[in-house]
Structure 1
Amino acid sequence: MDLVTQHLVQPDDLNYHNNLFGGKMLSWIDEGMAMFVMTKIQYTNIVTISMDNVVFRSPARAGDIIQIYGKVLKLGKSSITSKTLAITNNPETRKLSEVIESEITYVCLGENGKPYPHFRKFTLPT
């Protein structure tokens, strides 16, 4: 898997129990993976249609570095499915913990806002 993006967990990112807000984590994953996919497919008009099997396995806390990894799993006519893995990296203890592993599917849209069959003649670069 490729390193997609990293984020430092700040105090403003925490909930009442001093854990990273789940919605913040999902936002980071969706944004990072969308940019990763756009770069891979050389097309930017994409939307998220699903985030599957999202299970929070461990919390992240202030000072942790969130590292988000990804890879492309499959292409449809207008869709692309990627796998993502987010881990916490505590720079003080060097402890790594898996936070989320999931699959995200994006759809390419045409100018009319409808699915566009971008992958009919497209091959992923190696």
Structure 2
Amino acid sequence: MNFHTRKWIKPEDLNPNGTLFGGRLLEWIDEEAALYAIIQLENPRTVTKFMSEINFKSSATKGDIIEIGLEATAFGNSSLTLSCEVRNKMTHEVIITIDKIIMVSLGEDGKPKPHGKTEIEFVKDRLAK
């Protein structure tokens, strides 16, 4: 799992219980998954199709730093499947796991578009070509 993004929990990220609001965390995860998929599939028209069961295991509070990890688990014809884990850097606890996030590459017509990818590519390798 690659952890690329960190977030600092601020007062506006909290729920009435004083812990990280789950909706805010899901927003961050969805954005991170989209960015990851757009870069991998080289298509800015990539959207979220599906998120499997979301398992909240712990939380975070104001001042905590969390990091979002993603891992590609499968390539479809027009899709990329990811798994996700978010962990609290302060408490070393896993906050949430999502087994399956499916991102789909779209054409200009808004319909799924084959991407031709079969494995993870790194930008440094693309630049070397």
In the superposition, the TM-score normalised over structure 2's length comes to 0.87
| Structure 2: unaligned runs, 5 residues or longer | 123-129
Residue of 98, 105, 109 corresponding to 1:108: 105
RMSD value over aligned CA atoms?
Answer: 1.2
Among 86, 91, 96, the residue aligned to 2:92: 96
Q: CA deviation at 1:113?
A: 0.4
Aligned to 2:77: 77
The 5-angstrom pairing of residues 1-126 of structure 1 reads 1-90=1-90, 95-102=91-98, 103-119=100-116, 122-124=117-119, 125=121
Q: Which runs of 5+ in 1 are unaligned?
A: none
Residue 93 of structure 2 aligns to a residue whose secondary structure is strand
Q: Is the 8 A contact 1:89 1:97 kept in 2?
A: yes
Residues 4, 36 of structure 1: 8 Å contact kept: no
Percent identical pairs in the alignment equals 36
* Alpha-carbon distance, 1:42 to partner: 1.8
SS where residue 26 of structure 2 aligns? helix
| In 2: Cα distance, 1:20 partner to 1:89 partner | 14
Given residue 69 of structure 1, which amino acid in structure 2 is its aligned partner?
G
User: What is the CA–CA distance in structure 2 between the aligned matches of 1:60 and 1:67, rounded to whole Å?
Assistant: 11
CA deviation map 1:8-57 (0-9, x unaligned): 00011101110111000000011012111222222221110111121111
Give every structure 1 segment of 4 or more consecutive aligned residues whose post-TM-superposition deviation is greater than 2 Å.
Answer: 122-126
